[in-house]
Structure 1
Amino acid sequence: MQSRPVAPPVTDAPARRAALAAALLASFLTPFMGSSVNIALPPIGREFSLDAVTLGWVATAYILAAAVFLLPFGRLADITGRRKIFTSGLGAYAAASLGAALVQNGGQLIVLRLLQGVSGAMLFGTGVAILTSVFPPAQRGRVLGWNAAAVYIGLSLGPTAGGLITEAFGWRFIFILNAALAAAAFLAVSRSLKFDFREAAGEGFDMKGAVIYGLALSAVIAGFSEMPDAAGVILVVLGGVGLGMFVLIETRTKHPLLQVSLFRGNPVFIYSNAAALINYSATFAVGFLLSLYLQFAKGFSPAGAGLVLVAQPVLMALISPFAGRLADRLEPRLIASGGMALSAAGLLMLAFIGRDTPLVYLMTALVVIGSGFGFFSSPNTSAVMGAVERKCYGVAASTLGTMRLVGQMLSLGLAMLLFALIIGRVPISAAVLPEFIDSLRASFALFAALSLAGVGASLARNRVAGAA
């Protein structure tokens, strides 16, 4: 059987357009799913009688599975073909989304969210790796800015569309819509993307490392949801030990899952990934927390809450392409660091919210956070991808994606931990509203401190011109 052509020349304009369209479709789809489901969490919680911590797992399960499988699928994409993994992920994502629309209880929904996350992992890293393979370094910041804009457009439409869909048709239709979008993307990509990338073809796959990594990461996140109980502490410790073992094994493996050598003598790669981890840890739970706040404390409908929350991702979508172009001319570290400082200011504003906080105050904070994130994302991605050689693009993109997803999990995990400490394992209601507000304030104060720490990690990078 004839194999597909590998890595077309960067001068092939139709190939570039096909790669860009494919990556943008996937980059829109996954955040649209996440942000629309966040708006639907209160109705889901009421239908299945879920407490605050279990409700958080509806969001966390997807991210956990994606984080566990992102590095393995990134490595497999480099070996077997990025197009193959990418299109398979779209098909599996459509099937899992349709299944989630048919669940009968919270446990089934969490399982289907896990399956969505596995298929999402096949999309996260491969799309960025394909773009980086096709476009030359001088255009990398620009196309990654467009890719970031697609992510934020998905985030922007998700809350509004999710709220309107939930009110008009019920929350299950959100999953039906995502299944239809994924199926359409699968058909479009199968027809237009005719080439593949297998720069690591013939190398081995580190199955032992993949298993240890997945179990260790799962233990850490599961432990966060059980803390401060002893079982939670034990799981976190065991997971931390497991991650340490994973890194040690990877240094002694011929074809490792995670190329530890990428971090050696490469401060740009190290600190850019650290900055991404901290930034997502500090910002991701904002939508989840404010969705609950607006509906439980303010009495907003799902559609009304979505219209408020749309302010943050709209700013991200508007600013990301501009920030990407700046990263082609200026130092990515300075642009990204300034963006993270803006996000810290917005998070600090939210640390003072109460039941009677004016809506204009909330929206101002969201605008500040969204602007900061828009200036951070594409310059930071450009710095990461520019710090490795071509054959490592899949692993580098997956490493960055893993930082993003682990940061998102830590963000939700910290929020759920504070829920457990301050509210307890009870459904959110008027009886626990004061405790709920206290947990929000504590979460946003912690996230603001994390974001300030991230500014230091971002500035610690060596001076690197974006075009280099």
Structure 2
Amino acid sequence: MTAPALRIGTASGRGALLAAVLASGMVFLDSTVVNVALPRLGAELDAAVSGLQWTINGYALMLAAFVLLGGALGDRFGRRRIFLLGVVWFTVASLLCGLAQDTGQLVAARFLQGAGGALLTPGSLSVLQASFHPDDRGKAIGAWSGLSGVSTALGPFVGGWLIDTLSWRWIFFLNVPLAVLVVLAAMRWVPESRDEDASRTEEAGRRRRHFDVLGALLGAVALAGVTYALIDAPARGFDSAPVLVAAAVGVLGAIAFVLVERRRGDTAMLPTGLFTSRLFSALNVFTVVVYAALSGFTFFLAVYLQNVVGWSALLTGVALLPMTVLLLVGSPRAGALSARIGPRLPLSVGPAVAAAGLLLLRGVGPGASYWRDVLPGVALFGLGLTLVVAPLTASVLAAVEDRFAGVASGFNNAASRAGGLLAVAALPLLVGLSGTGYEQSAELTGAYRGAMLWCAGLLLAGAALAALLVHRPPREAPPSQPCQSLPASTPPKR
């Protein structure tokens, strides 16, 4: 029997919205402050640069590899059930992160946290989509987006204060009381739902028998192999056996993933027929490039501002706040502009403006003034990113048939996370930062300035790609909310 649809003005509707917002808030808070916590946890745990990289990438790897599978699990086994499993899993892993006594324990816990996030992240929105009456669905999702944006904006203040006042461990411990509220609210007010219509059809029966766990595992193997090779190459050497084996495993995993997905056709986690659209392919390459620059920038800036410029964790977190505010305020307007003039101009100009911001930030040094030296670059970067987020998401959705909208959106989300994952793995290698070099002012300064050049170059490459290959989709999708587009490893999420 189908549960009655929720209405936004009722107690049950408000309770379901509360559960979704608080769950997203847990993920958003960790996303905004883990980078800021890196210098403190690195010093306390005596971590090398590779340890900091895996702290970010362990989470990003699991999320990028399994977020599509997490959404499919909710459709099949029950959206509330998988959502609650994700919340509990994420929270237990957060507790383990906060209790970690060395880098190995922290990285292992971050892998577990990413797996929980892959269940939680699609569920926080899908429960609203499935539970609310069609007349109130847009209002519920809009409220979720706005309130989630508030949590994203508060993240730097709350996280930075916790790091400075208590310990970096409390950015993870804070998830425990939030999770208790989420579980209570979801059990009380969120109705169970699943893809009942699909399960009644013979075609859906075939899809259920071909539930694509193998595709998700091969994708994870491909990303993990390449990431391990990039992170360990500075310490072990490019010709060492572990690095060569990891690289080979990554490449073979990627080839096997493509072959498996091609053989399964429309029942695959990622139907390869989507890539017959040149626009869809170009937009996803663009996504990887731009979000690689974003993740590389935030990784290096957070460490540099504390270890070289001498700022506190709170001030470092707040330094990125203008970017979040610009995204929240400007993304709907950028989406409307793209709907009028097409995505090519915003997707070409936006990365170029963001690159200019990074070139300004490259000159930041010890004793820098926030208002004079940091704010202009961050504001330019945020303005450029604002021109990208909503037009990119809307164009990806419009580039495929409606029946593939969920898969296309999920893959684009995974592409953004994969771009960030590879950037955090590769940039320290490219700029010669390894060991405990992040604690040495001169070594970190040279690496930071080199990283800003690489990230600016990636953004300019993205701008050129958009100018050459992006065009107005055959049909325009509605402008997306900003918080649904950015990846978890960035200050504003999804």
The TM-score by the shorter chain falls in which range? Answer: 0.7 to 0.9
The equivalent position to 2:233 in structure 1, one of 227, 235, 247, is: 227
Residues 75-96 of structure 1: CA distance to partner in whole angstroms, max 9, x if unpaired?
3334334443333212221222
Q: Is 2:270 the counterpart of 1:258?
A: yes
Distance in 2 (alpha carbons) for counterparts of 1:392 and 1:258? 10
Which residue number corresponds to residue 366 of structure 1? Answer: 378
Distance in 2 (alpha carbons) for counterparts of 1:117 and 1:288? 18
Which residue number corresponds to residue 449 of structure 1? Answer: 457
Deviation at 1:31, TM superposition (A): 2.5
Given residue 447 of structure 1, which amino acid in structure 2 is its aligned partner?
A: C
Which residue number corresponds to residue 422 of structure 1? Answer: 432
Going from structure 1 to structure 2, the CA distance change for 1:114 and 1:282 (only over 3 Å counts) comes to same
Deviation at 1:233, TM superposition (A): 5.0
Which residue number corresponds to residue 274 of structure 1? Answer: 285
Of 201-210 and 128-137, more deviation after overlay is shown by 128-137
Of 453-462 and 324-333, more deviation after overlay is shown by 324-333
Residues 93-125 of structure 1: CA distance to partner in whole angstroms, max 9, x if unpaired?
122212322222222111111111101111334
The equivalent position to 1:32 in structure 2, one of 13, 29, 52, is: 29
Which residue number corresponds to residue 217 of structure 1? Answer: 223
Q: Kindly report which structure 2 residues correspond to 1:276-291, keeping only aligned pairs within 5 A, or say none.
A: 276-291=287-302
Which residue number corresponds to residue 304 of structure 1? Answer: 315
Given residue 476 of structure 2, which amino acid in structure 1 is its aligned partner?
A: G
Cα contact 2:396–2:408 (8 A) shared by 1: yes
Given residue 57 of structure 1, which amino acid in structure 2 is its aligned partner?
A: W
Cα contact 1:353–1:441 (8 A) shared by 2: no
Paired-residue identity, %: 32
Residues 221-274 of structure 1: CA distance to partner in whole angstroms, max 9, x if unpaired?
11110124224355234312321221111111252121112222x334323322
Cα contact 2:13–2:189 (8 A) shared by 1: no
Q: Is 2:174 the counterpart of 1:174?
A: no
Cα contact 1:297–1:355 (8 A) shared by 2: yes
The equivalent position to 2:446 in structure 1, one of 438, 448, 452, is: 438
Deviation at 1:134, TM superposition (A): 8.7
Distance in 1 (alpha carbons) for counterparts of 2:119 and 2:309? 38
Given residue 333 of structure 2, which amino acid in structure 1 is its aligned partner?
A: F
Going from structure 1 to structure 2, the CA distance change for 1:285 and 1:182 (only over 3 Å counts) comes to farther
Q: Which runs of 5+ in 2 are unaligned?
A: 200-204, 479-494
Distance in 1 (alpha carbons) for counterparts of 2:352 and 2:212? 39
Which residue number corresponds to residue 481 of structure 2? Answer: none
Given residue 451 of structure 2, which amino acid in structure 1 is its aligned partner?
A: S
Of 289-298 and 208-217, more deviation after overlay is shown by 208-217
Deviation at 1:143, TM superposition (A): 8.6
Which residue number corresponds to residue 66 of structure 2? Answer: 69
Going from structure 1 to structure 2, the CA distance change for 1:191 and 1:295 (only over 3 Å counts) comes to same
Cα contact 1:132–1:385 (8 A) shared by 2: no
Given residue 297 of structure 2, which amino acid in structure 1 is its aligned partner?
A: V
Distance in 2 (alpha carbons) for counterparts of 1:185 and 1:358? 40
Given residue 119 of structure 1, which amino acid in structure 2 is its aligned partner?
A: G
Q: Root-mean-square deviation (CA), in Å?
A: 3.4
Q: Is 2:100 the counterpart of 1:103?
A: yes
Q: Kindly report which structure 2 residues correspond to 1:40-51, keeping only aligned pairs within 5 A, or say none.
A: 40-51=37-48
Q: Kindly report which structure 2 residues correspond to 1:99-248, keeping only aligned pairs within 5 A, or say none.
A: 99-127=96-124, 153-194=150-191, 196-198=193-195, 200-201=198-199, 202=205, 203-204=207-208, 205-228=211-234, 229-230=237-238, 231-248=242-259
Q: Kindly report which structure 2 residues correspond to 1:53-64, keeping only aligned pairs within 5 A, or say none.
A: 53-64=50-61
Aligned residues: 459
TM-score of the superposed pair, with normalisation by structure 1: 0.86
Which residue number corresponds to residue 488 of structure 2? Answer: none
Cα contact 2:395–2:477 (8 A) shared by 1: no
Cα contact 2:15–2:185 (8 A) shared by 1: no
Cα contact 1:342–1:369 (8 A) shared by 2: yes
Q: Secondary structure at the match of 1:299?
A: coil
Deviation at 1:150, TM superposition (A): 5.6
Cα contact 1:216–1:243 (8 A) shared by 2: yes
The equivalent position to 1:294 in structure 2, one of 279, 298, 305, is: 305
Deviation at 1:364, TM superposition (A): 1.0
Cα contact 2:290–2:459 (8 A) shared by 1: yes
Q: Secondary structure at the match of 1:436?
A: helix
Cα contact 1:342–1:371 (8 A) shared by 2: yes
Residues 297-330 of structure 1: CA distance to partner in whole angstroms, max 9, x if unpaired?
1121222222223232222222223334445555
Cα contact 1:31–1:158 (8 A) shared by 2: yes
Residues 380-429 of structure 1: CA distance to partner in whole angstroms, max 9, x if unpaired?
222223444454344223212211210111221123324xx624312533
Distance in 2 (alpha carbons) for counterparts of 1:267 and 1:434? 45
Distance in 2 (alpha carbons) for counterparts of 1:347 and 1:146? 33
Q: Secondary structure at the match of 1:425?
A: coil
Of 339-348 and 151-160, more deviation after overlay is shown by 151-160
Going from structure 1 to structure 2, the CA distance change for 1:146 and 1:327 (only over 3 Å counts) comes to farther
Going from structure 1 to structure 2, the CA distance change for 1:56 and 1:235 (only over 3 Å counts) comes to same
Given residue 301 of structure 2, which amino acid in structure 1 is its aligned partner?
A: L
Which residue number corresponds to residue 411 of structure 1? Answer: 423
Distance in 1 (alpha carbons) for counterparts of 2:358 and 2:281? 25
Going from structure 1 to structure 2, the CA distance change for 1:122 and 1:328 (only over 3 Å counts) comes to farther
Distance in 1 (alpha carbons) for counterparts of 2:145 and 2:422? 21
Given residue 379 of structure 1, which amino acid in structure 2 is its aligned partner?
A: P
Going from structure 1 to structure 2, the CA distance change for 1:325 and 1:188 (only over 3 Å counts) comes to farther
Going from structure 1 to structure 2, the CA distance change for 1:28 and 1:380 (only over 3 Å counts) comes to farther
Distance in 2 (alpha carbons) for counterparts of 1:182 and 1:374? 31
